[in-house]
Each structure stands twice: as C-alpha cells, then as structure tokens.
Amino acid sequence: MVGKTKVILNFNTSIADGYNSKSQIARILTEDWVIRNSYCPNCGENNLNNYMNNNPAADFFCSRCSSDYELKSSKSTLTNKVVDGAYEVMINKINSYTNPHFFFLNYSNEYTVNDFFCVPKHFFVPSIIEKRKPLTSSARRSGWIGCNLLIKNLPSSGKIYLIQNRNVLDYHTVLNKWKRTSFLEAEEIKNRRWLLELISIIDNIPKNSFSLAEVYRYEETLKLKFPKNNFIKEKIRQQLQVLRDRGFIQFNGNGSYQKK
Ligand SMILES: [Zn+2]
C-alpha cells in the first residue's frame, strides 16, 4: 500500500484451517489481512504488529509511531453502529485520552475486502458511545453493560478510507486526510464535541466554499444538542475561528469561508 506493496483484497483463508469457531476464524483472517496489507495511517509506515492475544489495550501497534489500533470487522455494512466492549471502560479510556484508533473492515461472504477505514482516536467523544442495556439476569455476566460505537454520528472527515468499494485509495490522499484533523488530538475532550459538530456541518456542505449563513442554518439542530447554550451563533463563529486557526478552513472575508 505504500506504493511498493500491492494490496491483496482476498483473505488468506488457508491460515484458518483446523479452526471451527466462526468468530475465531473471522478474527484470525481479518487480523492477518490487516498486518499484511495495511500501513499505519498516522505515520504512513508498514509497521503494524499484533499485540499478544487478548491484550486489553488494542489489537495492533505501530512500531514506528506507537499508535494503537483496534479492529472491528463485519460482513454487514459498517454505516450505522458497531458493538464494542464494556461501556464504562470505553468512556474511561476516552476521558483519559488512552483510547486506540479504530480500523473498521467490511468483507464479503467470499472473504474479500469491500471497505476498510480508520477512525482516529481523537474523533471519539462520549456522545458517539451508546450505552447498551445491561445483560439480563439469565446471562453469565448478568448486569454487565456493553456499548455501541455510533459510526453514523461521525463526521466524514473522521472516516478515513484506505479501501472504499473495493478501490484502494491513494496513499498520500489518505495521509493528508488524516493530517487535516490531527489538530483535534491536542484539544481537550470538552472542547472536541463542538468542534466535531462544526466539522460535521462543514463536511455536509457539498461545495468547497460556504457562507456563515449556511452554517447558521444548523442553529436549531445545535440548540437541541446543546440546550444549555443560549448563544449558539456566537459559539458557531468562535468555533469557525478555531477551525481557521487550526488550518481546517480559511476565511475569505465578508462571511465567506473555504475548505482547505
Ligand atoms: Zn505509525
């Protein structure tokens, strides 16, 4: 994928010979595929390594930049939500800035990759983690509370495709898309939510330039999300300034903005 490595969309199914459990087979095949075909979208190197089994931190690490990655794979399309582990654990990781980046892999019945994208860790805020119902008293882990990752709530800037509809995306395009929002990593969690809302609004505007009036159209939607804030328009302008200072957009004057 780094120009020199050719991506093979098919899983190497021979390595799962002898295994019977479907979930175990899926895990072996998908992890093996990532190790052989993916690079680290943070630093761009082909240096992803497996953690030993059942490491609670993540599935892979990059031996160059030390990024941690967790892999979620499914035969169903990954557009709505994905089941993850314990709710409290995930929220604590986010609030302590220790959550990993996530890879999402969608594959076919024939064990070939359809979509493969990464969501950088700094796109995770508590509002995209959905608390599930506690397990019932008949379950082995009665009372345990899991969570869903609400992929549908992520801005498209936070879904960094390496493969989309079986097409391998250009390596430099991927790294540039990652860099464009990497400033979020230095933002405190409490500030990230507003920034992510604005990034989402800007992502949804299907042109490169836009006006302040177009962003103000989301005032009511934002009011519902931040009911305690009585100065939504002021907050919008302030957040646009932050996004300009971080290089995400530029101001062209007279209430006109441009995506960068
Ligand atoms: Zn790396």
Examine the pLDDT at 55 and tell me if it is beyond 90. no
**Helices marked H in 65-210 — which ranges?**
87-95, 171-180, 189-204
pLDDT value at position 1? 52
User: Residue 140: what pLDDT?
Assistant: 85
Residues 211 and 160 reside in one and the same domain: no
Give pLDDT, residue 2.
54
Are 86 and 159 members of one domain?
yes
pLDDT score of 3 more than 60: no
Max CA pair span of the chain: 67
* Residues of the domain holding 228: 190-259
Q: How far is ligand 1, taken at its centre, from the CA of residue 53, in Å?
A: 21
Do the bridges between strand 101-107 and strand 113-119 make them parallel or antiparallel, or are there none, so unpaired?
A: antiparallel
Same domain flag for 81 and 137: yes
Do the domain assignments include residue 141?
A: yes
| Per-residue confidence (pLDDT) for residue 128, from 0 to 100 | 94
Instruction: Point out the least confidently predicted range of 2-6, 123-127, 184-188, 237-241.
Output: 2-6
Same-domain status, 78 and 197: no
Say whether both 35 and 131 belong to one domain: yes
pLDDT in tens, 194-236: 999 999 999 999 999 999 999 999 999 999 999 999 999 999 9
Domain ends where: 170, 198, 213? 170
| 39 Cα: distance to centroid of ligand 1 (angstroms) | 8
Distance from the alpha carbon of residue 12 to the mean position of ligand 1, in angstroms: 24
Give the distance (Å) from ligand 1 centre to CA of residue 217.
39
Q: 230 lies in a domain?
A: yes
Domain-located, residue 99: yes
Taking the C-alpha atoms of residue 7 and residue 205, their distance in angstroms, rounded to an integer, is 33
Residue 67 lies in a domain: yes
Mean pLDDT (whole number) for 177-182:
97
Q: Say yes or no to pLDDT of 187 above 80.
A: yes
Decide if 83 is inside a domain. Answer: yes
User: Ligand 1 center to residue 220 CA distance, Å?
Assistant: 40
Residue 160's CATH number = 3.40.210.30
Residue 54 and residue 152 share a domain = yes
Q: Is 60 in the same domain as 149? A: yes
| Residue 146 and residue 204 share a domain | no
pLDDT > 70 fraction of the chain, expressed in percent and rounded: 97
pLDDT for position 61: 94
For residue range 246-257, list pLDDT tens digits in order.
999 999 999 999
CA of 170 to the centre of ligand 1 (A): 17
Task: Please report the pLDDT score of residue 138 as a whole number.
Answer: 84
pLDDT in tens, 104-154: 999 999 999 999 999 999 999 999 999 999 998 888 888 999 999 999 999
Residue 126 lies inside a defined structural domain of this protein: yes
Strands 167-168 and 160-164: what pairing? antiparallel
- Per the structure, the count of domains in the chain is 2
Tell me what pLDDT residue 139 has.
81
- The band of 92, judged by pLDDT with boundaries at 50, 70 and 90, is very high
Rounded average pLDDT over 173-186? 96
| CATH number for the domain that contains residue 232 | 1.10.10.10
Query: Residue 44 Cα, ligand 1 centroid: separation in angstroms?
Result: 6
Q: How many A from CA of 98 to the centre of ligand 1?
A: 16
In-domain check, residue 82: yes
Q: pLDDT-based confidence at 239, cuts 50/70/90? A: very high
pLDDT at residue 57, as a whole number: 74
Domain check: are 144 and 108 in the same one? yes
User: In 3-state terms, what secondary structure has residue 136?
Assistant: coil
Centre of ligand 1 from the C-alpha of residue 48, in Å: 7
Q: Are residues 143 and 115 in the same domain?
A: yes
Residue 206 inside a domain? The answer is: yes
Ligand 1 centroid – CA 109 distance (Å): 31
pLDDT at 5 over 80: no
175 C-alpha to ligand 1 centroid (Å) = 11
> Could you tell me if 28 and 108 lie in one domain?
yes
90-to-63, 85, 170, 199 alpha-carbon distances in Å: 24, 7, 32, 23
Same domain flag for 166 and 201 = no
